Chains A and B, each alone.
Chain A
Amino acid sequence: MSGGIVWLHGDSLSPTDPALVANPTAPAVFVFDEPFLATAQLSFKRLFFLYECALEAIAGRVGSIRRGVVVDEVRAFAAEHQALTVHVTASVAPRFREYVAALRAGGLQVMIYEPPAFVMWRGEPPRRFSAFWRRVAAEALQAGNSAPSLPATEEE
């Protein structure tokens, strides 16, 4: 029995994904969502961009990039690693909630990690950005300590 797997999706496809960082040795999977993409017919540029992101995200650990039905592929990947838990970072997309519900219905435990917050906000947002900005500006303009180390200029 392993500690679980990490499911990466297009809203959080970085080596710094919170679910990945919290589970540094867990195998990770990213799935190109076949039914969605077959309908959406995105440009190749977008899919290649995701592929490059996914390759970098899983580098250095057991990882897999797949094409198929997301829930089925995540479930199969978990089974391959005898994992009962799926670690994943939250997304606001309605499809994400559906997939989490389907994984749970299939018997897997799903641990959801929150992405870093830009500002704290609870409840319904206003209808206009100006009203939102008035309420969050002071907080948004407070520098926190999450600035990443930037590469040297000669590193390309």
Chain B
Amino acid sequence: MQLRTDLTTREEQAAYLAEALAGLFQGPAQPSPIRGGRRAALRRLRAFNVHHYARTRNDVVQRGVSMLSPYLRHGMLSLAEVRDSILGRFGITPDTEKFVNELAWRAFWQLVYAHLGDRIHHDIEPAKHKARVPRRRLPPDVTAATTGLVCIDESLRELYTVGYMHNHARMWVAAYLIHWLGVDWREGADLFYRHLLDGDPASNSLSWQWVNSTFSHKPYIFNRQNVERFSAGTFCARCPLAKVGCPFDDSYENLAWRLFGVTLAELEGRR
């Protein structure tokens, strides 16, 4: 079936595509505010200022990140083009070195995918530690972004409405689903893959395996202090569970014991 290519406004295109691709997607027929195409990619690249990247890239609110991932994933820009543009404009600095290091993650995931193929969707290594919580399916409050945890819900809402989530928030949500809720990493990876504009089999599944410790040497966990620090306290300030009931409000030592029944040193493979 041939699709129309003559519609000019986004509204017309979206209404048309929703009919033309009926049965092939899930959820509302709303485009992301992030536009597709090489021109949009170049505008994004031009707008990115790498100054302070090393310090601000993990901050979910400040967002010193490039947001180029949807364009890199679909070949609007190559890793080499982005590297050459950034080094050409900003030179070699600690910020540009860190940025190129992050670009290299994508190159690494692609090489692993080229080598392992569809095996990336199964445990690559045994989990180094397994959460004590009973295994369960993805709960409805996660798909509805109504867990009551502001840091999780806001990240999920952005995923569902924009098709984007900051990398650090991805790590929080993935760790929460796997280690606190007992959801299989593949279910979480499927959820992300369905929504992320940069959804890539390699980057997505392998990052979930990194959090799960089936492609890393320890499970990734975080605590409230980490959320506070990398969101300038804004999530916790608005969170109804901030005073009582925050599942992340603990030391790493206690979380290692609560979640996995081991000491922090054991969790990190130091003992």
Residues in chain A within 8 A of chain B (CB atoms): 10-17, 32, 34, 37-38, 40-53, 55-58, 63-68, 89, 92-94, 115-119, 121, 124-125, 127-129, 132-133, 136-137, 140-141, 143-148, 150-151, 153, 155-156
Contact = CB atoms under 8 A, between A and B. Distances in A.
Contacts of A50: 36, 74
Interface residues of B, number: 80
Given A119-B107, A132-B104, A143-B88, A93 B113 contact: yes
Interface of B: 1-3, 5, 13-14, 17-18, 20-21, 23-32, 34-43, 45-46, 70, 73-81, 83-85, 87-89, 92, 97, 100-101, 103-105, 107-108, 110-115, 117-118, 125, 160, 162-163, 193-197, 199, 201-202, 215-217
Q: Across chains A and B, which 10 residue pairs bring their CB atoms closest together, nearest first?
A: A52-B36, A12-B75, A143-B87, A92-B114, A118-B79, A56-B37, A147-B84, A37-B24, A125-B111, A45-B163
A40 B32 contact: no
A42 B26 contact: yes
A63 to B, nearest CB: 7
A145 B45 CA distance: 16
Given A129-B104, A140-B103, 18 more contacts: A11-B74, A14-B38, A32-B3, A44-B18, A44-B21, A44-B25, A46-B163, A48-B17, A50-B74, A63-B5, A65-B3, A67-B21, A118-B107, A121-B111, A128-B217, A146-B78, A151-B46, A153-B46
Residue among A12, A52, A65, A156 having the largest count of chain B Cβ atoms under 10 Å: A52
B101 A133 contact: yes
B74 A49 contact: yes
14 contacts: A43-B160, A44-B27, A49-B36, A50-B36, A53-B36, A53-B37, A56-B38, A56-B39, A67-B21, A89-B75, A127-B125, A143-B83, A143-B87, A148-B85
